[in-house]
Amino acid sequence: MKLLVKAPAKINLALDVLYKRPDGYHEVEMIMTTIDLADRVELALTNDDKIHILSHNRYVPDDQRNLAFQAAQLLKDRYQVKKGVVITIEKIIPVAAGLAGGSSDAAATLRGLNKLWGLGLTLDELAKLGSEIGSDVSFCVYGGTALAKGRGESITELPAPPTCWVILAKPFIGVSTAEVYRRLNINGCGHPNIAAMINAIHQHDYQQVCANVGNVLEDVTLNLHPEVAQIKDQMKRFGADAVLMSGSGPTVFGLVQHDSRMHRIYNGLRGFCDQVFAVRMLGERHSLD
């Protein structure tokens, strides 16, 4: 028996850090939304009681370091599952890009194995399990658009943002999320207005969404990697309505509504960046399988 599950990437329309917690993590407030750029995760049942990972991408680990492996292991241990699975990951989302690729593969594995192994868990239960794997996994279990609080695992659903194009540009570098958080000076940076972003989404107000994008981690990564600032400048020059780094980076996204401008930005950035995509937001929460 086989199941194919979609694992979409996310962007952070806004990302604020409130304080560093005693457990070493940072208390965040983020507006996250899934986009139409997805890995394909195929789950095939085996009777050997083992977890196997297959991927053609040399940057994706094929052992217990893979977040999809960890998701399967967690379900096996917690619910004494005696079956095995072959997890084949067709990687479309750039790796170590700030787009939650690994987290989304883990979330897709949780959703898929819940069905394949007949566990009968709710999305809320899967999201709670996901938070044990990584801070972005809970959001990825639900998808759609949400406010994420705590260390990222406390999710409140939001409606779909206004329709627009999301142009993603990833430079050749990779970024360590832990290092970016470690270097952040919470008191020495400007903070995005999360309430204003939530209001803009509720009002379906594209101009206000664009006016309120912001990410406290951006300056940290920009200082480490000046090429990210260059990509931001390029996107602005080609006419994006809003430009921001996603998560801890290094991927930069630009928002536009007009097709012609989307093409201008897309074509202008290709050749300058490692990978460029023009995609839509997936909008509100709906079944990902």
Ligand X SMILES: Nc1ncnc2c1ncn2[C@@H]1O[C@H](COP(=O)(O)OP(=O)(O)OP(=O)(O)O)[C@@H](O)[C@H]1O
For the annotated catalytic residues, the residue numbers are 10, 136
CA distance 210 to 206: 6
Helix axes 123-130, 101-116, angle to 10 degrees: 130
Which residues are at the interface with ligand CDM (CB under 6 A)? 12, 15, 25-26, 28, 30, 100, 103, 134-136, 151-152, 177-178, 181, 247-248
User: Are 243 and 232 within 8 A, CB to CB?
Assistant: yes
Within 94-211, residue ranges assigned H as helices are 101-116, 123-130, 137-142, 177-183, 194-203, 206-211
- When asked if residue 171 is in the footprint of ligand X (CB under 6 A), the reply is no
Q: Of these, 35, 51, 99, 217, which contacts ligand X (CB under 6 A)?
A: 99
Min dist CB 91 to ligand CDM, Å, is 17
99 is in an annotated binding site: yes
Q: Which of residues 59-78 bind ligand X (CB under 6 A)?
A: 60-61, 65-68
118 is in an annotated binding site: no
User: Are 115 and 5 within 8 A, CB to CB?
Assistant: no
- When asked if residue 145 is in the footprint of ligand X (CB under 6 A), the reply is no
CA torsion through residues 127, 21, 32, 146, sign: positive
Min dist CB 40 to ligand CDM, Å, is 21
User: Are 273 and 233 within 8 A, CB to CB?
Assistant: no
Q: Which is nearer to ligand CDM, 45 or 279 (CB)?
A: 279
Q: Please give the annotated binding residues for ATP, written as ranges.
A: 94-104
Residues of this chain that bind ligand X (CB under 6 A): 60-61, 65-68, 89, 95-103, 105, 136, 177, 247-248
